Structure 1
């Protein structure tokens, strides 16, 4: 599955050797949902992302069933009842980093604008991100809020009080030069 996703993303960005593209093969995406009943946290370290430094395009692919929860039952409900990861196996983001200068050393704070697709629904996002260049490694971190109803995720009326309407999502990607 990882290879299939990589092929799709590489074709999206037309990757060629020495083309100024960087890749994060094990990015991290986590989310937190506060509710009066129980907080829900999950983390996913199987996230793939590619940045084209020539045009500042970015693509991210998240395997939804790779999120790890504190409790097995939370993972089961997440994958089977809410995200339906058998039908919608991944979430994706395709966008552009605005006014990003890859030659600049140190830290840059930039907006990333693009389309986030999850559970069969698309939403345009603007995400404030910190980009740090250390030698030949770029680290991009940031966070955004996902509104559950924007992604057509059905929550049974009895459980609405147990699931937050807004989910806080954090991400961190460490990019290195892409080599064919």
Structure 2
């Protein structure tokens, strides 16, 4: 009987020490996904708040945390309706590929202070139906049960079989600067 109690206690301690914690994108916060394009004639940017996804990991450690995020490309706004329509129809083909996704894991986490971590994640970044392995760096700020994530990285359009658009017969830079600033909240059980 003592053995059974000890085994049960050991299992309880082990399972609680490795309990999973899930954070989901908090849609009530000001989430921003922005791409910036350099063009010889005119620079422009597209913005959306339509990001969704989650982080699932062990309590007390960001390393090994599973990540999945998606952005609805139909919601990108460049402040020019005609350009938005052309971008969706002629380049991103959002009727066929409405989402861009990142599916991966945090490989490294460096504690800057009690509320700030620098992380490096590796996973598959998919846009226009083409998935490429990518390492992405981000800053995560922790406030109680809220994660505030900031990241910036480059996406090369041609890597994802996206034709490089032209403005007034001059091609834009195929490298898009992508910036993310969003919040996740802990899912209560």
Report the TM range for the smaller structure's normalisation: 0.7 to 0.9
CA displacement at 1:175 relative to structure 2: 0.9
Query: 1:33 & 1:99 partners in 2: Cα distance?
Result: 30
Listed as ranges, the matches of 1:80-159 within 5 Å are: 80-100=89-109, 105-155=114-164
TM-score by length of 1: 0.82
Query: 2:165 & 2:46 partners in 1: Cα distance?
Result: 21
Say which of 85, 88, 94 aligns to 1:79.
88
Matched residue pairs, number?
162
Listed as ranges, the matches of 1:9-24 within 5 Å are: 19-24=20-25
**What is the match of residue 5 of structure 1?**
none
CA RMSD of superposed structures (Å): 2.2
Distance 1:170 1:111, change over 3 A: same
Query: 1:99 & 1:158 partners in 2: Cα distance?
Result: 40
CA displacement at 1:105 relative to structure 2: 3.1
SS at match of 1:140: strand
Say which of 21, 34, 47 aligns to 2:38.
34
For structure 2, the residue ranges without an aligned partner over 5 or more in a row are 1-18, 59-63
Larger radius of gyration: 2
**What is the match of residue 49 of structure 2?**
45
CA displacement at 1:124 relative to structure 2: 1.0
SS at match of 1:99: strand
Distance 1:33 1:88, change over 3 A: same
Distance 1:160 1:70, change over 3 A: same
Post-superposition Cα deviations, 1:15-73, rounded to whole Å, max 9, x if no partner, equal xxx84100114342110001111112111101102000224011001111011111111
For structure 1, the residue ranges without an aligned partner over 5 or more in a row are 1-17
TM-score by length of 2: 0.78
